């Protein structure tokens, strides 16, 4: 029997592949877990306050313990995965097959029958654990493409639960999806949920086209609501943190370190081939070649946090970026210690990231495909004086609502070069007007609003 609860609202069980925790070794040698402050924790925190929410996920270790932990108000239920399952489920099917297939930017998806087997087994392990720990009548909120089979597996085990699923990345059209032999099972897995949420209307439509073309129907007699819930950031929190004296001082120190250039372009990404990093650095190279900007008083700062380094395509991307940076810096010296491109290939502390957002003049987001892109929103949240220009890819979900950015087609290098050039000559009142509008949008549509919208719809589904 599942444990029962006595609260007015349903208890919430969040399920994500990675748990939002990090381990530190304390002075006495003991392993202590703390909450890592990601977007989802910030989003769901207020909604969870006082309800004693549970979070089910993998802690990132091989053969980890399944012992539950109480961490800062969350009940953490770790799912243990073997090295073989991690390889097949996480590195293999999730990041070698699904990620390139769903983003569809020209990097071939790789297919392997054992990877699919691992994906199934890992999804079963998550569903099994959720079924075991969820109180009677709870709301379960499953996150992202690593866990697309969980909704149906869970409904079979626990029909009393109300199940939500949110997909953080794009959903492909049937033509692209056709490459995946297991697509019907994936669609059936998702249709086990009461609510399937996507970033954009375009993803909702792609999902419907897929179920129609495959003739996949909702199993049993439950209803499935498929809708767009564009995710966002903790705008007030980011904005406030960026205004801290320490961050502002660090931002001006950074500009000094770069030789007080008149213009600073900035890119901030996980090192992922979907983010269009080579394309944007090459566009900057062309801007320098055209003479519209000079490396002496213009710098491109690119922060790239290493990601999925065990996956082959990520190693190739990293080598490609190194090559571009070396070439551009050799061709365009700045007369100072830095090159034309300052490349920070590291996982930066939060405050340092905020200082970069404050120090930049132009934020450049050129994703080839991106569910949303939170970096664009974080930059805007940091510009409390309405300064700064955002160059934004039309292929990022964020472009749907951030129309005051300079929007570019990331596949057209000339367009990126032109946008970089335009950003340098925008009239100050135009810059301020655009940024004020962007800030208004991101302030209104913050992540708390996203969480409230989807959780309210789950409550309604539960009541019906």
Under the binding rule (CB under 6 A), the answer on residue 231 touching ligand GDG is yes
- Interface residue with ligand GDG among 77, 120, 285, 370 (CB under 6 A) is 370
Minimum CB distance to ligand GDG, residue 27 (Å): 25
Neighbours of 331 (CB within 10 A): 13
- Interface residue with ligand GDG among 373, 401, 423, 445 (CB under 6 A) is 373
Q: How far apart are CA 287 and CA 168, in angstroms?
A: 33
- Binding residues for ligand GDG, total number by CB under 6 A: 19
Q: Kindly calculate the radius of gyration of the chain based on its CA atoms and give it in whole angstroms.
A: 23
In this structure, the strands spanning 341-344 and 362-365 are: unpaired
Q: Please, which of residues 26-45 interact with ligand GDG by CB under 6 A? A: 39
- Interface residue with ligand GDG among 75, 121, 222, 270 (CB under 6 A) is 270
Identify which range of 11-19, 20-28, 214-222, 372-380 contacts ligand GDG by CB under 6 A: 372-380
Under the binding rule (CB under 6 A), the answer on residue 200 touching ligand GDG is no
Q: Nearer Cβ to ligand GDG, position 291 or 349?
A: 349
Range list of H helices, 221-373? 235-242, 245-257, 277-290, 312-331, 350-359
For 284-310, the three-class secondary structure string (H helix, E strand, C coil) is HHHHHHHCCCCCCCEEEEEEEECCCCC
Q: What are phi and psi of 76, to 5 degrees?
A: -100, 125
Q: Nearer Cβ to ligand GDG, position 161 or 268?
A: 268
Helix, coil or strand: residue 71? strand
Q: Where are the beta strands (DSSP E) in 84-154?
A: 139-143
Q: Nearer Cβ to ligand GDG, position 303 or 342?
A: 303
Q: How far apart are CA 439 and CA 382, in angstroms?
A: 9
Under the binding rule (CB under 6 A), the answer on residue 280 touching ligand GDG is no
Q: Nearer Cβ to ligand GDG, position 93 or 102?
A: 102
- Interface residue with ligand GDG among 374, 402, 416, 438 (CB under 6 A) is 374
Q: What are phi and psi of 457, to 5 degrees?
A: -65, -35
Identify which range of 175-183, 217-225, 285-293, 344-352 contacts ligand GDG by CB under 6 A: 344-352
Identify which range of 133-141, 371-379, 387-395, 428-436 contacts ligand GDG by CB under 6 A: 371-379
Under the binding rule (CB under 6 A), the answer on residue 305 touching ligand GDG is yes
- Interface residue with ligand GDG among 353, 356, 364, 392 (CB under 6 A) is 353
Q: How far apart are CA 102 and CA 169, in angstroms?
A: 7
Q: Two tokens at 394?
A: 């039309």
Alpha-carbon torsion, ordered 210, 213, 219, 220, to 10 deg: 130
Q: How far apart are CA 373 and CA 396, in angstroms?
A: 6
Minimum CB distance to ligand GDG, residue 280 (Å): 14
- Interface residue with ligand GDG among 127, 149, 169, 417 (CB under 6 A) is 169
Under the binding rule (CB under 6 A), the answer on residue 347 touching ligand GDG is yes
Residues contributing to the site for ligand GDG (CB under 6 A): 39, 168-169, 231, 268, 270, 303, 305, 347-348, 350, 353, 370-375, 378
């Amino acid at each position: 029997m599942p444990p029962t609860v006595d609260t007015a609202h349903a208890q919430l069980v969040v399920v994500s592949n990675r748990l939002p925790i990090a381990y530190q070794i304390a002075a006495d040698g003991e392993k202590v877990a703390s909450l890592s402050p990601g977007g989802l924790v910030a989003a769901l925190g207020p909604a969870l306050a006082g309800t004693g929410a549970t979070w089910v996920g993998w802690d990132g270790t091989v053969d980890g313990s399944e012992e539950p932990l109480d961490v800062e108000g969350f009940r953490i239920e770790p799912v243990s995965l073997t090295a073989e399952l991690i390889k097949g489920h996480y590195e293999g099917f999730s990041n070698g097959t699904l990620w390139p297939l769903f983003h569809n930017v020209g990097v071939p998806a790789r297919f392997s029958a054992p990877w699919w087997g691992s994906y199934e087994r890992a999804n079963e392990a998550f569903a099994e654990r959720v079924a075991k720990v969820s109180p009677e009548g709870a709301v379960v909120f499953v996150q992202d493409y690593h866990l697309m089979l969980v909704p149906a597996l869970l409904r079979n085990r626990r029909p009393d639960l109300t199940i939500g699923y949110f997909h953080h990345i794009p959903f492909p059209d049937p033509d692209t999806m056709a490459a995946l032999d297991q697509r019907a099972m994936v669609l059936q897995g998702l249709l086990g949920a009461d609510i399937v949420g996507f970033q954009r209307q375009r993803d909702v439509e792609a999902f419907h086209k897929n179920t129609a073309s495959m003739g996949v129907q909702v199993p049993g007699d439950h209803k499935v609501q498929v809708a767009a819930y564009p995710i966002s950031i903790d705008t007030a929190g980011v904005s406030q943190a960026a205004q801290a004296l320490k961050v502002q001082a660090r931002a001006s120190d950074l500009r000094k370190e770069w030789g007080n250039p008149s213009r600073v372009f900035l890119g901030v990404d996980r090192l992922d081939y979907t983010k269009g990093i080579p394309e944007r650095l090459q566009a900057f190279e062309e801007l320098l070649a055209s003479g519209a900007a000079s490396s002496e008083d213009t710098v491109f700062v690119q922060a790239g946090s290493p990601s999925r380094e065990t996956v082959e395509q990520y190693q190739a991307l990293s080598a490609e970026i190194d090559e571009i940076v070396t070439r551009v810096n050799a061709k365009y010296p700045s007369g100072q210690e830095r090159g034309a491109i300052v490349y920070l290939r590291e996982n930066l502390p939060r405050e340092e990231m905020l200082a970069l957002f404050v120090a930049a003049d132009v934020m450049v987001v050129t994703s080839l495909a991106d569910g949303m892109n939170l970096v664009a929103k974080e930059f805007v949240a940091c510009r409390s004086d309405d300064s700064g220009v955002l160059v934004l890819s039309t292929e990022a979900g964020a472009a749907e609502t951030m129309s005051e950015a300079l929007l570019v087609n990331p596949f057209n290098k000339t367009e990126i070069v032109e946008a970089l050039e335009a950003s340098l000559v925008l009239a100050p009142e135009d810059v301020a007007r655009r940024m004020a509008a962007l800030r208004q949008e991101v302030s209104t549509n913050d992540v708390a609003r996203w969480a409230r919208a989807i959780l309210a719809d789950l409550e309604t589904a539960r009541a019906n």
